[in-house]
Amino acid sequence: MNNPNSSEENRGQWGSRLGFIMAAAGSAVGLGNIWRFPYVTGENGGAAFVLVYLACVFFIGVPLLLVELSLGRASGRNPIGAFKKTGGGLPFILTGVLCLMACFFVLTYYGVIAGWTISYAWGQVTQQTLVFKEYTANAMSVLPVFAVFIGLTIWIVSAGVEKGIEKWSKILMPVLFVMMVVIIARSLTLDGAEKGLKYYLSPDFSKIDGKVVLMALGQAFFSLSVGWGLMITYGSYMPKSQNIVTNGLWVASADTLVAILAGFMVFPAVFAFGMDPGAGPGLTFVTLPKVFAQMPAGWIFGTIFFCLLSVAALTSSISMLEVPVSYFVDKKSSARKKSAIIVGIVAFLIGIPSAMSNGGSEFFSELQLFGKTGFLDIMDQVFGTLALIVISLMLSIYVGWVWKPESAVKEIEEGCPWFSKPLVGGIAPSQVWSFFIKYICPIVISLVLLNTLGIFSKKDPAPAEPTPKEQTSPEDNASSESQ
Ligand code: PHE
């Protein structure tokens, strides 16, 4: 059901340009940047991966970000409403449904991991190093923090677009930045930090292969919050006077900057203490606490670091909850609070198996599907990896071929008149962008999809997105000895 302009006021709008940028950057900057980016970089060879990642962000991620923002602002709707209102047929409306599902289901396990960060922060304050494997296997430690995290998310989303999401993002994002600077200063001044810097900054191009490119692209989508329809919702709250292109570039740059900075926090410290940068998803939860334990006054830095992770996760999880909530608000504008509470509680309940899947319950830990073991990994594979590739593909096909780049360009021009003016060599940015959306994005994303489905290699289907459980054992066993 579309309510025409009448409810426009009640849907909510960003109060200012900075508010939009902070909220959208808040969504983009999350565990993906601070937890996932460093370990994926570590697993894929360091500096060379970083370069490929940057290319993916700016050549595929940013064009798609503009797709989502323009579709959202043109329609003023949630993802389902956006496809409907701009004339999308059933396959696209189903894509909108998939957007809502992806955000919702990712929230169910993202909240679990975010809960861990709260426990780890507390563990640093009380100077007790948690042993990852023991900690995650204990439902009584994991579930309460998961509940707290979802509770905070519900609270902020209930307060609305401007008074909740925008206000808190404007507070939390600068806090996050300051905390990062403190940790980086500490990390770079450790003895032996140069080795980490060298690993992170001098590329070895022989390390680039197909898998590295795929991982980089998957990481770019995950990190930018692109391919979830989320930026459709966030774009729908953007006033026409705002500039989609510069706003989008700010968001992408802030997200990239935080990811790059996360590397400067992690690698110098990891190398200074002789740890393995390729330790995988446990790099944050297993390796870093050991690093902190060896630093003078390390618990202070440890506390700051894990608080930072919790904050980054919170500004992302509110955006995930906002997408399904925006659907209900578009149906009935007074439904915000109630739907935030109900959707949040259901997300918590559906997240329980994920919370129990790192040892808490044998059944959920050993469940196997789509080449993944454990409920959390399976959810991540289906919604955090496959769904977003499908959505990105459908989005580029929709805007490239159905809704047409011209319609999107018309929307983008409002607030950004230079978008369709010839700039360099008589070519307008809009022309380059249209070409990317029509040809480059669908082709590249199709290749990624085929690869993820295991079409290219029968043996090693989906390298995408492992989770902390996969490689924890050796590290953990070692760490149970320490302190
Ligand atoms: N981009 C977020 C991160 O880097 C994750 C996220 C995905 C947030 C999808 C919202 C929607 O952690």
Atom index in ligand 1 nearest the CA of residue 224 equals 1
What pLDDT is stored for residue 480 in this prediction?
35
Helix (H) or strand (E) holding 373: strand 372-373
CA-to-CA distance for 51 and 73, rounded, in angstroms?
32
The range of the structural domain enclosing residue 115 comes to 14-452
Atom index in ligand 1 nearest the CA of residue 33 equals 4
The full 3-state SS of 273-311, as one line of letters, equals: CCCCCCCCCHHHHHHHHHHHHHCCCHHHHHHHHHHHHHH
Closest C-alpha to ligand 1, atom 7: 225
State the distance from the centre of ligand 1 to the C-alpha of 105, rounded, in angstroms. Answer: 12
The mean pLDDT values, 10 residues at a time, for the chain of 483 residues are 45 84 90 91 91 94 96 94 93 96 95 95 89 89 95 92 81 84 88 92 87 86 92 93 94 95 91 86 80 84 89 92 91 88 97 89 84 85 87 95 95 94 90 96 89 65 46 38 32
Q: What is the dihedral of CA 277, 283, 286, 289, to 10 degrees?
A: 90
Mutate to test the pocket of ligand 1, among 53, 110, 257 (most ligand atoms within 8 A of CB): 110
What pLDDT is stored for residue 217 in this prediction?
87
Mutate to test the pocket of ligand 1, among 316, 317, 323, 383 (most ligand atoms within 8 A of CB): 316
What pLDDT is stored for residue 108 in this prediction?
96
Residue 292 forms part of a structural domain: yes
Closest C-alpha to ligand 1, atom 8: 316
The 3-state DSSP class for residue 209 equals coil
The 3-state DSSP class for residue 394 equals helix
The 3-state DSSP class for residue 237 equals coil
State the distance from the centre of ligand 1 to the C-alpha of 425, rounded, in angstroms. Answer: 37
Please tell me the total count of domains within the chain.
Answer: 1
The 3-state DSSP class for residue 456 equals coil
State the distance from the centre of ligand 1 to the C-alpha of 370, rounded, in angstroms. Answer: 22
State the distance from the centre of ligand 1 to the C-alpha of 21, rounded, in angstroms. Answer: 15
Helix (H) or strand (E) holding 401: none
State the distance from the centre of ligand 1 to the C-alpha of 421, rounded, in angstroms. Answer: 33
List the CATH number of the domain containing 243. 1.10.4160
State the distance from the centre of ligand 1 to the C-alpha of 32, rounded, in angstroms. Answer: 6
**Which of 217, 287, 236, 176 lies closest to 62 in space, CA to CA?**
217
Give helix then strand counts, H and E, for the chain: 26, 2
Residue 330 forms part of a structural domain: yes
**CA angle centred on 338, ends 115 and 151, rounded to 5°:** 15
Residue 441 forms part of a structural domain: yes
Residue 467 forms part of a structural domain: no
What pLDDT is stored for residue 284 in this prediction?
82
State the distance from the centre of ligand 1 to the C-alpha of 432, rounded, in angstroms. Answer: 27
CB neighbour class for 276 (10 Å; exposed up to 12, middle 13-18, buried from 19):
middle
Q: DSSP label at 207?
A: G
Residue 81 forms part of a structural domain: yes
Closest C-alpha to ligand 1, atom 11: 225
Number of neighbours of residue 126 by Cβ within 10 angstroms? 9
CA-to-CA distance for 271 and 285, rounded, in angstroms?
16
Residue 1 forms part of a structural domain: no
Residue 252 forms part of a structural domain: yes
**Ligand 1 lining (C-beta closer than 6 Å):** 27-28, 30-33, 103, 106, 222-223, 225, 228, 230, 316, 319-320
State the distance from the centre of ligand 1 to the C-alpha of 241, rounded, in angstroms. Answer: 26
Residue 18 forms part of a structural domain: yes
